[in-house]
Structure 1
Amino acid sequence: MEAKASLLDPPAQTIVQGAMVRSEQDQSLVQQQLAANDLMGRLPFEISAQIFIHCLPGKQKDRTASLEHAPLLLLNICNAWTDIAKSTPLLWCTIHIEFPRPVSFKELLEAWFIRARNYPLTVSLRGQCHPHIAVVIWNHSHRLEHLIVDNGDCLDRDSLGTLEIFPGGMARVPEQFIALRTLTIRGSEYSNLQFLGPQIMELLRRAPNVVECTFIRMPLAVGFHDIDWDPPLVFPSLRRLRFGEHVKPGIIENEFLKCVSLPALEALAYPFEYFSSDHFIAFLNRSAPSNLRELSGCDGLGDFVLDGGLHLIPSLTRFEVWWTQYSFAEKALVALAASSSLLPKLQTLIIHLEGQQCAFPEALWKGLLNLLAAPSRRSQLTNVLLYGIPESLMPAEGIRAELREAAKICGAQVRMGSRRKNFMK
């Protein structure tokens, strides 16, 4: 029996080679046809770039540096798409970074910022930022427009230590964040990790053009007492300041207003339980904000109202409060109805009467009726909302009929009950 040949005989090899050549030719032809039908390759660059921009995740927190999401995903399709993506700066202006990250990530981050060219940057950091990553960010601080620092949802309730805004120390941070417009610092409701108060204030001091600052879930902040606040720091451009979602009493909200002056303030949301009326009045006298339009807070504002503090903010157009004592609401309504010089520009009044279990006094409804009937409020007051009132505690139908008629004459929308149900209808 003849042994089988281990190699193809010459005629067979010629046939195979010819088939391979034809296959390569067919593949090249297919690629040419695909390129000819590639709309992205045929469209003007500007239109292709806009299509790529619409591929970005809608939410800022979803814009992670991941191969599974745009813009990095767009680099792995073809050379043409890679060139378009790398040449579109708006794809690289926003980044959300989840920690921990390897040391090699700093190279990707540097390339990311370079592709953004000279456009303003939005950076969101979640978790404890690594010093080697922070260095890259601070090297581009002159372009940083929006910064979010998030502690993350630490599940260890016994966590201890500090969270540094400037890992590695402030000495390595640039002198100014000249482009910074908004700053958000978010803590965790599950841990006792503490932010460094001096670093928060130092960041703001180096951001002369910041207009909005938000502190969320920050039960603790240390080191405020280590700084000399005399004279107080002046932030001439800060227009919106919000403290929110507190878990436990802290000192960040207490100390902040005691050590700053905010002459341009337009909107303030603040949990006043832990801040005295005297301190807040001192802040208003020190800042003298001539354009404060929105103020929201809770029980501590009751004493502020009773102390005559509302006379210090005549520019206010929106006043929202959460009060567990209806006596505060009653006295506020009476004061507003009695004086046309008290909040003369008020348009929206929202009172949350939380946790009420007993009937409201007749003086409360009378104060509301007098406010709606006041000639000085006519056509000025547009919304009066009283939330947290169960149906069982609503006034009699006769009083509600009077309130509806007064609201019609005043030109205001009046809502009483819950967010879902309005018992004034």
Structure 2
Amino acid sequence: MAAPAPQATPSTTPHPPSYPLPRECPYRPSAGTAHLRDAGPVSTVRLYDGRTAWLVTGAAEARALLADSRVSNRADFPNYPVMDERHLSMRATREMAREEEGGFAAALFGMDPPEHTRQRQLLLPRFTVRQVAARRPAIQRIVDEHLDAMEANGSPADLVSAFATPVPTMVVCTHLGVPYQDRTRFEPAVAGLFEPDRADAAMAELTAYLHQLIETKQSEPGDGVIDHLIANHLRPGAIDRAELVAIASAILVAGTVTTSSAIALGTLALLTAPGQYTALVDNPDLVPGAVNEILRYLSLVEQLARVATEDIEIGGKLIRAGDGIIVSFAAGNLDPNVTTHPDRLDVALPPTNHLAFSHGIHHCIGQNLALLELDIAFRALVSRFPTLRLAVPAEQLPTYFAGDVPRLACLPVTW
């Protein structure tokens, strides 16, 4: 019996749903995400400008495409899916996949092999399990110091400003070799990267700061990732300063925004889902699995955009060369092969192979550091503050987005 012919490309698929779907709850993707899976693991959606793109909601299909060399991460393809018109005015979006004047999108995130492979190979030695594990005592000290201060200042407290924001920033600074005391110089620029009206100026500020830092480090070296790159790659001429600045920017931004949100929104989810925070208080050994369950449940990075460079048959559909593709991590994290309880947070039932760190060649290089940091942070939080609870109703919490990542402006808690 012959296999059924692959179905039509996006332009001929009738009445696709609009995408993306706004969140009704800051720590959960839209409830409509589950319905996007009803059309099968590969379907189509309509973007803000009327164009259509393939939407991949099946976990297996997502992994297959993310590992497929026929799929590109370059944003300069005509049909590259842009999900917000404001992003078109941002220099980071315009320059993605182009070697122009640095900018964090020009490093790692917006590149294909061989350039992407070369950059990852520069960094991998400093992000191995062994290298990251050596940071455990330093991360533990950072976490403990901030919880000590929060306890000393008394209840109530803002968990965002007291813990969820400074801890990831200090951890990434320590790992990169960026002086934490310089945060008043780089934190406003990092925040500004996600504001379309300020993005260009913010990128210029961050780039200027990192150029100056690298200049200083060439005569006063340390032991961070930047120092490693200077000694082993910049001085021998394997990379230039602009590329080093782009790489440092990428890690500084990615390593702070998502982890900070994971701590804040993860704590909010634990406190509002019945029994979940208490379960970790009663059994802190559940924390490693709980971290992965929190990451699956939050799906902070809901999707990644790609473009097919050749025809691809997958999920019963034919994706044509040049078609835009959206890989939905949020939908994939609802897949029965990932979780038995897609709509519920259960720290006692961690997921199998979730997509929070992507997959394939663009799998998050900072995964080991993020998992260690979150494990230490949540384990310490539930141990030190077993009676932690919200100080205001959850629906009153102010939220905003840094790019596509949901964030809490504050999280008042008491104990």
Q: Taking structure 1 as the reference length, what is the TM-score of the superposition? A: 0.20
- Higher helix share goes to which structure? 2
Bigger CA radius of gyration: 1
Q: Which has the higher contact order (CA 8 A, sep 6+)?
A: 2
Q: Taking structure 2 as the reference length, what is the TM-score of the superposition? A: 0.20
